[in-house]
Structure 1
């Protein structure tokens, strides 16, 4: 069994595998007798029926859900990975939402505004808990085990260069174990997240996207059969009336072609034939784990702009992005 400690890179694999701190990730707990019904009325995905996962046990994908939290206008304020992790078998429900740290405090505050008389407590635990990532290759039985104070969930696998990689998100109280970061593993984690083509909302991209604009329905982030939630009518109308003409795509660019152009989330992209308005924006970016000169990106873009011409970063005269295929089929709208 492997506990929380550094794992040496596997020599035959160019990627660095093992543990790393995830400084961009935060954690919100939603706890109480009414927590399930409360979140059911707030999130894009159903939270009912999630298996209760105890501490020290890694929740499998079947016990984890990707969720979105929208404004009344149907724009994503946050995306999160959700698991049901009570403090003990006899405790009230406690849901853990793993999301971007830079939006965690505001999302917790906003959720708290809607608690009203419900028996629910919403806590931003981002400053009290470390969020770690663990990467392993698909042909390695790492026997990963957690400390009893920790919680964890397994994310969808990612395929890159013919190899399958497993990813686990782990939360540990900061008071429990000291942990030195492994920057090489962090590079691997960030790139695998980009290559998964599953978006993560950060502060710079809040309220920029109706969920379908970044493929949320195609990565099981929306349940169209559940009840109402903020923005639900707009999200449903976009699905059934075919109102969405934008999609998330993967792209890459060589560092030598960037010429200082930023790759941060929220940076606009342009179609080479239209300088009048942006064609979309960067959602996430990371250095490729096999080629240190290559940067991988998730970009949200007008569908018609992807059909011909160049997609350029930052301006109509900016460096050209190379568009890559998605790792999953899109649900047509």
Structure 2
């Protein structure tokens, strides 16, 4: 059973549309006739059936966009990524694009490349040569999102908050094709807030190898295909699902923080309950400042289910800021 969230009122969304460079996102390209087979054997989601999307088009829907995880042999997530298939031309080899956290792009590409062996595929971290952008807009905006002809773009799941739905698109362009690249601070704040409120996790350096996929609801947001073949950690992931061993889950939460405690609201920071100050009960997965309130932080947190029923959850220490648990925007898959 999932814990009951507090009946808290989310603040209104401040912006309807925005576009910004995403400096904390990177890009990995896997290209070649054997690219699909390589990724199929390494990632938590199926790759071989992915629909091709050509430059200038937006990959969208489950047939063209997949959330994937990359696990170590113990089933712990090394990385998560949004995956699309973007061939260079109509008759060229497969080219898969993985949009990942920039701080783990190089290590993830290096690890994937270890399994290339004699396969005809190249795996490269191109984060220094490509710029990643994010654009979003309210569903109330009638004009559709357009992307440059030379761009790789994929649509992430929409985010519904306060009765308003937001479309989100990740875009990658070669830096040599861009005239200017800048961060729009207001748009970046909104993008980050929408990502947290989506309750779809993203692994960063501080949270590498901390979570089995189900601990952060990865299977409930279509990040795991239990019918595909083997991949690193697959047996542990499957056992966690079918033997009812999932005792921790990702939750949405928020808290009010002062300048002195702002450093506590970062990925990798541990959670505590007052009754057990020595033993953490969870960890921060992702955070974002709320666009409407300067002292409010929205968070994705991984937490023991029993801790949610044991009293208040504190951020960073047993007497740290109290977290208020919010409603998840999707149901959890329970076996």
The TM tier, using the shorter chain, reads over 0.9
Distance 2:135 2:262 in 1: 31
Distance 2:162 2:251 in 1: 18
Over the aligned positions, Cα root-mean-square deviation in angstroms equals: 1.4
Aligned position for 1:158 = 159
Q: What is the CA distance between 1:259 and its match in structure 2?
A: 3.9
Aligned position for 2:66 = 65
Aligned position for 1:142 = 143
Aligned position for 2:234 = 232
Gap change, CA 1:237 and 1:309, over 3 Å in 2? same
Q: What is the CA distance between 1:88 and its match in structure 2?
A: 0.5
Q: What is the CA distance between 1:93 and its match in structure 2?
A: 0.4
Distance 1:127 1:106 in 2: 14
C-alpha contact 2:13 2:291 (8 A) present in aligned 1 = no
Matched, 1:74 2:94: no
C-alpha contact 2:59 2:84 (8 A) present in aligned 1 = yes
Encode CA deviations 1:220-249: one digit per residue, 9 max, x unaligned. 000000000000011001111111210000
Encode CA deviations 1:204-228: one digit per residue, 9 max, x unaligned. 0000000000000100000000000
Aligned position for 1:279 = 281
1:255-294 map, 5 Å: 255-256=257-258, 259-294=261-296
The answer to which of 281-290 and 225-234 deviates more is 281-290
Q: What is the CA distance between 1:189 and its match in structure 2?
A: 0.3
SS of residue in 2 equivalent to 1:102: helix
Q: How many residues align?
A: 322
Distance 1:258 1:243 in 2: 38
C-alpha contact 2:272 2:318 (8 A) present in aligned 1 = yes
Gap change, CA 1:258 and 1:158, over 3 Å in 2? farther
Aligned position for 2:213 = 211
Unaligned residue ranges in structure 2 (runs of 5+):
1-11
Q: What is the CA distance between 1:13 and its match in structure 2?
A: 6.1
C-alpha contact 1:281 1:301 (8 A) present in aligned 2 = yes
Matched, 1:36 2:36: yes
TM-score by length of 1: 0.94
Distance 2:262 2:253 in 1: 18
SS of residue in 1 equivalent to 2:264: coil
Q: What is the CA distance between 1:256 and its match in structure 2?
A: 4.1
TM-score by length of 2: 0.93
